[in-house]
Structure 1
Amino acid sequence: MIKVAVSGINAVDNPGPGLGIIKGLREGSTPVSVVGLAYDAMEPGVYLTDLIERVYLMPYPSEGEAPFLNRLLYIKEKEGLEVVIPALDPELPLFIDLEPRLSELGVRSFLPTRKHFKLRAKDRLPVIAEATGLKTPATFAVSSYEELQRALSRLRFPVMVKGLFYRAFRAYNSTEALQYFQSISAEWGYPVIIQEIVEGEEMNVVGVGDGEGGHFGLLAIKKLWITSLGKIWTGVTVKHPGLLEAAEKFVRHFRWRGAFELETIVSGEDIYLIEINPRFPAWIYFAVGVGLNLPERLLRAALGEEPERDWEYPAGKLYIRFTDDLVTDLDLFQRMVTRGER
């Protein structure tokens, strides 16, 4: 029985990947006991006792490395933690930096490098696109009102206004663009990304790189219906040769290690790279459901084993996300608030 910690158990309107990862681990051939890592006592995963045996509140990554590491060491001491699968962007830099030390202490992971993590910055998309044969929308990194106006003068509305790592808004005029520019820069700093909107079909690829130029499986999907936050609600598996070839080039060129997602817009013969995520997406259970248990393959890689590399999957399989209801005892919430664990 492998004791695995998984974060991102916030299954809300902007869901984290954690529950999909855990469901995949549960359905795998490697017996696991799951510890949930939460940042808020109200995260729904805290209360899913049939899926997650134990849950611990974590300090926010912004508090720094020391409290974060101390909390992980406390969890290891209490639970015998063997593997951790982080699933949220803000915590990844800490886990990446701590990976060597945690490994020495017996807590293993399989993560991108710091260099890989930096590729997720939206101003790095042209570098990735050139290496993979993809295109990118016209993109401008701006740090002042004057630069914003110059960028807007070269694009047609609507445009996307994005933070370098977080936040994205669609602006339909200059007033909205300025409002979003100010909001993002106040929260996340500069530069702010102003990007052309490309019309087409939204297609994404999820995979796990082996760190040596190969991979442990890829899955391509097309979004059919998205929420107001841009999150997939229904989707279908596709086999788009150009997209899958680009994903293989990405893994090979950058020698990617660990989970990743490529977000693209496909317009006719053109494929535009929109975003890269250095982790599993919230829809990762889709891969499990069609026979590619990527979470378990990641777990086996973290354990130093050789995962399967077969990645045949059927096209035309439908994914549907749905909401659910749960009634439980208030005692669970009180324990999380007072003790930080359950």
Structure 2
Amino acid sequence: MKDLKVGVSGINAVDNPGPGVGVAKSLKEWNKDIRIVGLAYDAMEPGVYMKWLIEKSYLMPYPSQGADAYLQRLLYIKETYGLDAVIPTLDAELPLYIEYADYLRDTGIANFLPTKEQFRLRSKERLPEVAEKIGVKVPKTVSVIDYKGLAEALNEVGYPAMIKGLFYKAYKVYNYQEAVEKFNAIVSEWGYPVLVQQVVNGEEINLVGVGDGEGGHFGFLNIKKLWITQLGKVWTAVTIKNHKMLEAAENFVSTFKWRGGFELECIYTPEGELYLIEINPRFPAWVYFATGAGINLPARLLMAALGEEPPRDWDYEVGKLYIRFTDDFVTDMGIFQRISTLGEV
């Protein structure tokens, strides 16, 4: 375990941060001798330069360039530096990792990922099905493919409304002109269909966990958002224990036998109703909150990937406060030059 080398993606700790830095911090707190291998998609991802946390970084080809190039890059890292396990944290790369999970394990790169069918549950079109099975509600949602359908859907759900892509992007709109603008933006980037969703007012509460793939789990952490950025990212939050959400999470992992990390995003209304808003099939950017509250979920996922039995206790204190802050540091331009020209540093 002393020379364990673990690849972590999503090390873009920017205004729209990935989960990678939180995962890396969690793994280091579990075992300071672990060496983190940063899997970056851009030479300017801050994690590349955080040498006190991420010892080695590599530029990765985009998954859209095809599986062959991506897998060859991982095998190159395995052969030249070492790569014992990988924790992918970005939606866009997960289909590739899931497709080749067995192949990676056969080459000695451990992983612990959802199945293809579990990954498909993240589609917002599947939310009503999931919500019914786990005992919560879902906002009224209409799938549209043209302006006529958009207008009819807005008349049905009312204003304000959410305009959402099937997998990515969500905008709150207050009139038809705004809705058309956001509809066009989503279509140009992600295609059809576009979802028009009712806005539900209440507290934004989230939950992060790791399912064991057999109907159980290795721990949950339930939070309430206190302050979010303009991009909707958690900036401050507090630990809570909303019994409806905890029960829904238990139902989620037992019903779907979820394997790996996940996040549930919900709205809890003043009337005491819980609405499922989104399912994320990986750790959220705020995953370090769980570690700070005493439940090191990234470490537990890694243990499961390596064939060990992780702890299953997950009691935590209500009222723990999570604070995200900006920081800066000065480093050498040579790091940028090497990662840009050699693809590794």
Contact 1:205 1:220 in 2 (8 A): yes
Provide, for residues 73-120 of structure 1, a one-character-per-residue CA deviation record: whole Å limited to 9, x for no partner.
111111221100000000000000111111110001000011011100
Indicate yes or no: 2:333 matched with 1:341: no
In 1: Cα distance, 2:74 partner to 2:344 partner: 13
Among 4, 7, 10, which residue is 1:5 paired with? 7
The 5-angstrom pairing of residues 8-157 of structure 1 reads: 8-29=10-31, 31-157=33-159
Indicate yes or no: 2:222 matched with 1:188: no
Aligned partner of 2:301 in structure 1 is 298
Among 317, 321, 328, which residue is 2:324 paired with? 321
What 5-or-longer segments of structure 1 have no aligned partner? none
Provide, for residues 301-324 of structure 1, a one-character-per-residue CA deviation record: whole Å limited to 9, x for no partner.
000000000000000000000000
Provide, for residues 270-298 of structure 1, a one-character-per-residue CA deviation record: whole Å limited to 9, x for no partner.
00000000000000000000100000000
Aligned partner of 1:243 in structure 2 is 245
Q: CA deviation at 1:330?
A: 0.5
Letter in 2 for 1:271: L
Contact 1:139 1:194 in 2 (8 A): yes
Provide, for residues 176-203 of structure 1, a one-character-per-residue CA deviation record: whole Å limited to 9, x for no partner.
1011111101110111111011100000
In 1: Cα distance, 2:210 partner to 2:16 partner: 23
Among 198, 214, 217, which residue is 2:216 paired with? 214
Contact 1:30 1:296 in 2 (8 A): no
Aligned partner of 2:177 in structure 1 is 175
The alignment partner of 1:335 has SS state of: helix
In 1: Cα distance, 2:90 partner to 2:276 partner: 21
Number of equivalenced pairs: 342
Letter in 2 for 1:46: V
Contact 1:205 1:263 in 2 (8 A): yes
In 2: Cα distance, 1:150 partner to 1:216 partner: 44
The alignment partner of 2:157 has SS state of: coil
In 2: Cα distance, 1:120 partner to 1:142 partner: 18
Provide, for residues 194-235 of structure 1, a one-character-per-residue CA deviation record: whole Å limited to 9, x for no partner.
101110000000000000000000010000000001100000
In 1: Cα distance, 2:37 partner to 2:158 partner: 48
Q: CA deviation at 1:31?
A: 3.8
Identity %: 61
Aligned partner of 1:272 in structure 2 is 275
In 2: Cα distance, 1:247 partner to 1:241 partner: 10
Q: CA deviation at 1:29?
A: 4.2
Q: Cα RMSD (Å) of the superposition?
A: 0.8
Letter in 1 for 2:131: A
Contact 1:287 1:293 in 2 (8 A): yes
The normalised TM-score by structure 2 is: 0.98
The alignment partner of 1:11 has SS state of: coil
In 2: Cα distance, 1:159 partner to 1:100 partner: 42
Aligned partner of 1:227 in structure 2 is 229
Letter in 1 for 2:72: N
In 1: Cα distance, 2:171 partner to 2:235 partner: 19
What 5-or-longer segments of structure 2 have no aligned partner? none
The normalised TM-score by structure 1 is: 0.99
In 1: Cα distance, 2:102 partner to 2:232 partner: 35
Letter in 1 for 2:19: P
Moved over 6 A (4+): none
Provide, for residues 228-258 of structure 1, a one-character-per-residue CA deviation record: whole Å limited to 9, x for no partner.
0110000000011111010000000000000
Q: CA deviation at 1:30?
A: 7.5
Letter in 2 for 1:279: R
Provide, for residues 19-73 of structure 1, a one-character-per-residue CA deviation record: whole Å limited to 9, x for no partner.
0001000011484111000000000001000000000000011111111111111
Q: CA deviation at 1:171?
A: 0.9
